Homo-oligomer: A and B are copies of this chain.
């Protein structure tokens, strides 16, 4: 059963030290989550700025709930839930687990307090540590523990993206971290074209390669036509030229539904760009507050519609996820990740000329769909990825809010075409020019 991520892919750690090593790794990730909230007030962690986003506090609790729900509750002998209501409050979307607090009302929870949520985390962490140390973890459960660790990392990213949205709508323009270096110190490295070779290729994640989410496999063959993808994402400076050229007023560049969004919401630039008047310099709301737009940074907070329209404007197109993966896997996963503490994409002024990882997620031309042979896991855990395979587009590469150890070339992120609050940008591709 090569499609089951929980048994064949994730063997129990071998040897005496393996369980301890896993526990260390897990608790390190848990600590990293908490470190993200340093400097935030209880109020910062309690608010929900839109239905798609969740309060920081909710993320802290939900990732903890995952371990209580799928590991400790059913498997750890004598485990006592921290508080039974949390099973309802912090279930995200698992229908099989039972009813849950409605997503748009996550911001209505002043209780439990942030302090209580931290106590919840400590309670669960202690139980996890003891359970792992006990040697009583049944073999199939290791893959669930591993999944929980990666799930925690996903929510590290969401903590930052949701907080960044909250701060972006505050008239006071608060900052999560001390200010960034000034913008505009150097131009971006030039983009070049990298070849995608024509032919039948094997894509997706193979069981032998270590952990991956179920939607990254199974490995499968695709035929790809010769094409080219750009060596780096599109920069703010390049995108600003599109804005200045009237890109947001030219229907011919847009998908019909994208054009309707432009009209309905009055989009005239990427999310969080602002300026005092027409023609004034652009500034942008970031996790370091309001700052000048840096032309050398990758453009960020684009919807798929904007990425697609820009590519058309540039005489190019979005890469398919196959094209992206084929080229990206040749390069190391170097870039700006959450560990940088930057909370914002870095200018593409130095470092490697070819960049596929970190900084911004890159919209692809591919709708999010199951790979041939895909089958979700059995039970509630199977709701993890498969049930979102409609009306979403794939993004690749990770962002400045992604943990470095979380990303890989086969990783498939997905959001709807109108979503703009992620760290989402665009890379160009084009058919092969003979």
Q: Which residues in A have some Cβ–Cβ distance to B below 8 Å?
A: 41-47, 49, 85, 88-89, 93, 95-96, 101, 105, 107-114, 166, 169-172, 174, 200, 220-223, 225, 227, 251-252, 254-259, 304-305, 308, 317, 365-367, 369-370, 372-373, 383, 387-391, 416-417, 431
Complex contact A46–B223 (CB within 8 A): no
Q: How far is the CA of A252 from the CA of B85 in the complex (A)?
A: 24
Complex contact B113–A390 (CB within 8 A): no
Q: How far is the CA of A370 from the CA of B312 in the complex (A)?
A: 13
Contacts of A85 in B (CB 8 A): 171-172
Complex contact B42–A112 (CB within 8 A): no
Complex contact B47–A107 (CB within 8 A): yes
A369 to chain B, nearest CB (A): 7
A379 to chain B, nearest CB (A): 9
Complex contact A257–B390 (CB within 8 A): yes
A65 to chain B, nearest CB (A): 14
**Which residue of chain B lies nearest to A169 when distances are taken between CB atoms in the complex?**
B108
Q: How far is the CA of A383 from the CA of B250 in the complex (A)?
A: 13
Complex contact A387–B112 (CB within 8 A): no
Complex contact A108–B47 (CB within 8 A): yes
User: Known interface pairs A47-B47, A107-B47, A110-B46. Does A255 touch B390 (Cβ–Cβ under 8 Å)?
Assistant: yes
A sample of 5 inter-chain contacts (CB < 8 A) reads A105-B169, A108-B170, A110-B170, A256-B387, A367-B369
User: Known interface pairs A41-B42, A43-B46, A259-B95. Does A387 touch B170 (Cβ–Cβ under 8 Å)?
Assistant: no
Complex contact A170–B225 (CB within 8 A): no
**Which residue of chain B lies nearest to A416 when distances are taken between CB atoms in the complex?**
B391
A211 to chain B, nearest CB (A): 24
Q: How far is the CA of A255 from the CA of B111 in the complex (A)?
A: 32
Complex contact A254–B387 (CB within 8 A): yes
Q: How far is the CA of A252 from the CA of B93 in the complex (A)?
A: 12
Complex contact A172–B225 (CB within 8 A): no
Complex contact A200–B223 (CB within 8 A): yes
A260 to chain B, nearest CB (A): 10
Complex contact A112–B172 (CB within 8 A): yes
Q: How far is the CA of A431 from the CA of B2 in the complex (A)?
A: 14
Contacts of A227 in B (CB 8 A): 372
Complex contact A166–B110 (CB within 8 A): yes
Complex contact A89–B372 (CB within 8 A): no
Contacts of A47 in B (CB 8 A): 46-47, 107-110
Complex contact B172–A108 (CB within 8 A): no
User: Known interface pairs A47-B46, A390-B417. Does A88 touch B171 (Cβ–Cβ under 8 Å)?
Assistant: yes
A118 to chain B, nearest CB (A): 13
**Which residue of chain B lies nearest to A317 when distances are taken between CB atoms in the complex?**
B370
Q: How far is the CA of A17 from the CA of B86 in the complex (A)?
A: 57
Contacts of A44 in B (CB 8 A): 110-111
Q: How far is the CA of A366 from the CA of B369 in the complex (A)?
A: 8
Complex contact B372–A431 (CB within 8 A): yes
Contacts of A256 in B (CB 8 A): 93, 383, 387-388, 390
Q: How far is the CA of A343 from the CA of B304 in the complex (A)?
A: 39
Partner of A223, one of B109, B222, B365: B222
Contacts of A221 in B (CB 8 A): 223, 225
User: Known interface pairs A95-B251, A110-B174. Does A390 touch B105 (Cβ–Cβ under 8 Å)?
Assistant: no
Q: How far is the CA of A135 from the CA of B288 in the complex (A)?
A: 46
A395 to chain B, nearest CB (A): 15
Contacts of A112 in B (CB 8 A): 172
Q: How far is the CA of A254 from the CA of B386 in the complex (A)?
A: 10
Contacts of A308 in B (CB 8 A): 390
Contacts of A113 in B (CB 8 A): 41, 43
Contacts of A369 in B (CB 8 A): 365-367
* Residue of A95, A110, A113, A388 contacting most chain B CB atoms (<10 Å): A110
